[in-house]
Amino acid sequence: MIATIAAIRSLSPRVKEFVLQLPETVRFAAGQFVVMTMEVDGEPIQRSYSIANESAGETNLLVLWIALNEAGRVTPRLFQLCEGMQLEVSEPFGGFVLRDASLQEDVVFVCTGTGVAPFRSMIDQCLQQANPTNVVLVMGNRHREDVLGHAEWLQLAADEPRFRYFPVLSRPKEADDDMLTGYVHAHYSDWVTKNPQIHVYVCGWDAMCKEARQRLKDIGLTRRQYFFEQYDG
Ligand SMILES: Cc1cc2nc3c(=O)[nH]c(=O)nc-3n(C[C@H](O)[C@H](O)[C@H](O)COP(=O)(O)OP(=O)(O)OC[C@H]3O[C@@H](n4cnc5c(N)ncnc54)[C@H](O)[C@@H]3O)c2cc1C
């Protein structure tokens, strides 16, 4: 379908939020993505983007959080588009969605970069449940300015005692002592080890996902307890 760019705003030095007005209402499950088709040098190129809307369900506005990859084929062109221009996007789809069983357990969400995008609606869905389960977000980035939605997550943690938020920086500066440091893995392992029933959702860069998969397996989680969405690059 052909969507119109309703709004663009910068979320960080490398990430922009694109709000797309759709020609029709679509229904999406928390965690799903759309495929964008863009013509590059006369050739249609497709790229997937997670839906970053705050809540899942029916909508005619799609929110996408997209990182610029200067050497990439699509994102440099996307970053030159303006409000009012049109883009081709698919219906929402994808199997990286919350399992019913996860809504009965504590859940840890682990991400790097724009991997946090699908977690917005997934975390919302967890917190809509009446169950007294905990929801933990461990979000890795290199620098403080790369952390997406920091104020939003802090506010949610203040409002909702079941939600805990841990931003992690791999290249912190001195003033960043309100955030954890290193890589995400050291910071979710404890939660997982202490709670053998926990469910874990992981989204983001290849290398992070690969290491998380190995760690979760080593800790002893079964394949019904951890789920991945791996972005390329
Ligand atoms: C399910 C899913 C959801 C996703 N959701 C998001 C999201 O919400 N937000 C987001 O920002 N991204 C997301 N991605 C990643 C996204 O789809 C793109 O991969 C990303 O935007 C880069 O696209 P690009 O065309 O700019 O870069 P690409 O052209 O794909 O290039 C990526 C990298 O590969 C290198 N490269 C390309 N061609 C070559 C070559 N011939 N030789 C050597 N190196 C090469 C480039 O240098 C670049 O560093 C998602 C991916 C998946 C699979």
Does the Cβ of 47 fall within 6 Å of ligand 1?
Answer: yes
User: Cα torsion at 97, 99, 105, 106 (round to 10°)?
Assistant: -10
pLDDT digits (tens, 9 = 90+) for 13-22: 999 999 999 9
Please name each of the domains of the chain with its CATH number: 2-89 (2.40.30.10), 100-230 (3.40.50.80)
Question: By alpha-carbon position, which residue is closest to atom 4 of ligand 1?
Answer: 49
Share of the chain above pLDDT 90, in %: 95
Contact 25, 60 (CB under 8 A): yes
Does the Cβ of 66 fall within 6 Å of ligand 1?
Answer: yes
Residue 50 Cα to ligand 1 middle (Å): 13
Pairwise CA distance, residues 65 & 189, whole Å: 27
Residue 104 Cα to ligand 1 middle (Å): 34
Question: By alpha-carbon position, which residue is closest to atom 24 of ligand 1?
Answer: 72
- Closest Cα to residue 14, out of 50, 62, 66, 49? 66
Does the Cβ of 72 fall within 6 Å of ligand 1?
Answer: yes
pLDDT digits (tens, 9 = 90+) for 113-142: 999 999 999 999 999 988 889 999 999 999
Residue 47 Cα to ligand 1 middle (Å): 7
Of all helices (H) and strands (E), which one includes residue 190?
helix 185-194
pLDDT digits (tens, 9 = 90+) for 175-209: 899 999 999 999 999 899 999 899 999 999 999 99
